[in-house]
Amino acid sequence: MPTPIPTDADPLSLAFAAARRAAAEGEVPVGAAVVRGGRVLAVAHNRPRALNDPTAHAEILAIRAACAAIGDERLVDCDLYVTLEPCPMCAGAIAFARIRRLYFAAPDPKGGGVEHGPRVFNQPTCHHAPDVYGGFREAEAAALLRDFFAVRRT
């Protein structure tokens, strides 16, 4: 179930609120928001454990909800805000959904698929590459992840 959408926050703040909700539910704290023309279409957080679904990443769930909201499998003129650099699976979904711009907070050198790893959007087989902007509130996102995993290790 996507996170309810408050109307008084910017998209990245909504993504961070969703990420904190994920952490509270025992999920890796990643949140995402899809926006078109200033209107928030969807907000979601990671839920693979809750849904027993390895594809239930915040980006995938937000993309699905946004597609349902507009009644189209393409999110042309939509922007995606995420608290962590998307993995290769999510980068592929972003390309297929034709997301216009991707904004993310923290890079993910180990599991990322945009600026790290396979760099999905740079591949000649990639059908669509969004404009990518990273590093927004990076320290906040990194701290959220670090704190989540520190608790898990104890």
Per-domain residue ranges of the chain: 11-151
Are 6 and 15 within 8 A, CB to CB? no
33, β-bridge pairs:
43, 81
pLDDT above 60 (res 20) = yes
CA dist., res. 116 & res. 106, Å (int): 12
**Confidence class for position 8, pLDDT limits 50, 70, 90:** low
CA dist., res. 8 & res. 40, Å (int): 11
Top CATH class of 11-151 equals alpha beta
- Answer yes or no: is 78 a known binding residue: no
Q: What pLDDT, on the 0 to 100 scale, is given for residue 61? A: 98
59 catalytic? Reply is yes
Q: What is the pTM of this model?
A: 0.93
Residue ranges of alpha helices (H) inside the chain are: 11-24, 48-51, 58-70, 88-97, 138-153
In this prediction, residues 53-77 reach a mean pLDDT of 98
pLDDT tens for residues 84-133?
999 999 999 999 999 999 999 999 999 999 999 999 999 999 999 999 99
Select which of 59, 115, 138, 140 is catalytic: 59
pLDDT above 90 (res 4) = no
% of the chain beyond a pLDDT of 90: 92
| Angle in degrees, 0-180, between the axes of helices 58-70 and 11-24, rounded to the nearest 10 | 130
